[in-house]
Amino acid sequence: MKIKNYVIPLILSLLFLMPLNIYSHNTASEISSTFTRISENATPSVVFIKAQNLNDESLDNYENPFNFFSDEFFRHFFGHPKRDIPSQPKISGGSGFIVSSDGYILTNYHVIKDASEITVIMNNKEEYKAKIIGSDSRTDLAIIKIDNKNLPYLNFGNSDDLKVGEWVMAIGNPFALRSTVTVGVVSAKGRQNLRIADLEDFIQTDAAINPGNSGGPLLNLKGEVVGVNTAIVSRSGGYMGIGFAIPSNMTKNVVDQIIQNGAVKRGYVGILLQEVDQDIAEAFNLKKSKGILISEVAKDSPAEKGGLKQGDIILEYNNNLVKDINSFRNEIALLKPNTIVDFKILRKGEYNNIKIKLGVYPNQEPVSQQSSKLGIEVTDVKDIPLSALDKWNIPKNANGVIITSVKRGSLAERGGLKMGMLIVQADHKDIKSVEDFTKILKNMEKKKHLLFLIKYHNVTRFISIKLS
């Protein structure tokens, strides 16, 4: 009997594939066992956080420029909940994880922002009241603490060692479904300019992340924390395959400082920078575009005192090549004040080395004690999402500060101030930044009225707030 032509190749193919199938089965089984082990070890350290704001000071025209669920592109994990009865407290949920045996818990700042009461629910369903130890809005991180000891906790890994395509696991509480485990890969590293936080160096992952995962850990296959899940890209409000996590190497610095000091202090140079494109390179007689250009040096700053000048091109710092402005800014911000940084610069065609002793980064939080008394929060125009600026008809290069929150029943609300208003002047003085606004408000208790010049939907007018 003749063997048909296709039979022999088929038999040979099957014989060739048999070892591969066995190998693939064993590999898949090992990976599955690894996921199971990590989940069993890490889940007891991941907590569900309920944040309640009894006073509900957020703006309540039911819109919020930082609520990315209502935006078409970027969204934070949970947004501004709708309420049938305005006087009810706002309750929001998120995730966190224990970082020490004595009860310190890491989460996102936006999870506990403005919270008057925080409840932590453990994996075993035990509940604890928590207090805020400190927060850092620039990285969207916060530390809270519960009164307990001998708790299971997670260790940090080295996020710099992560490779694109590497397996990672996310654990959190999406839609209040506690201890949910999802698996994916590292899709990209070093994501910036997303307008999610001030300092951005995000890990991108396709591990399924949904509302409520915010503040939960992103783990490598060693069970180490390599990121803190923070935001997603979604058109529906749910998982679409793109999530972002704050890398552990940025996180560790913030955690250590908050636990030790209750706040974060960052290194400060005092320079404004711009990229060196091909046109700038040719103007400075450079063969190729490299480094970053100093466009301005702040008066009395460490840069001015150390000898940096406008027009200098920074090529290296501490023997590290300058990649771009964002990376430079992030890495300098991770250094502590008083650190000595050796800058290699190009000045008028000559190379120089200049040592700068870093100062303390100025506090630029959007809320001051005075603005809180007035009943508003204001933010610099550059820190507002473009979608919100378009909605309010505000140019992205406008001078002034934008009202992002108005407390109900406050002096500001009674006087007619609203979210989305651009404050151009206060007390007859021009406003260019939150710092300008805060300085003017320092003397407001001595006044009976405070006069604002505002722009709102292309209309400019004066508003007088009665302070008594």
Annotated catalytic residues are 110, 140, 214
User: 3-state SS string over 99-136?
Assistant: CCCCCEEEECHHHHCCCCEEEEECCCCCEEEEEEEEEE
Phi, psi at 27, each rounded to 5°: -65, -45
Question: Taking CA 216 as the corner, what is the angle to CA 213 and CA 220, rounded to the nearest 5 degrees?
Answer: 120
Chain CA centroid to CA 189, Å: 15
Name the token pair of 196.
Answer: 């999610």
Residue 268 burial (10 A CB sphere; 0-12, 13-18, 19+): buried
Please name which of 183, 240, 149 lies closest in space to residue 42, comparing C-alpha atoms: 183
Number of CB atoms found within 10 A of residue 279's CB: 9
- Is the CB of residue 89 less than 8 Å from the CB of residue 50? no
User: 3-state SS string over 173-226?
Assistant: CHHHCCCEEEEEEEEEEEECCCCCCCCCCEEEECCCCCCCCCCCEEECCCCCEE
Q: What pairing do the DSSP bridges indicate for beta strands 320-321 and 313-317?
A: antiparallel
* H or E element, residue 227: strand 225-233
Residue 418 burial (10 A CB sphere; 0-12, 13-18, 19+): middle
The Cα–Cα gap between 273 and 289 comes to 15
Query: b/e per residue, 23-38, with b = 16+ CB within 10 A?
Result: eeeeeeeeeeeebeeb
The Cα–Cα gap between 221 and 238 comes to 25
Name the token pair of 243.
Answer: 């999530």
- Is the CB of residue 248 less than 8 Å from the CB of residue 156? yes
What are the beta bridge partners of residue 188? 204
- Is the CB of residue 444 less than 8 Å from the CB of residue 374? yes
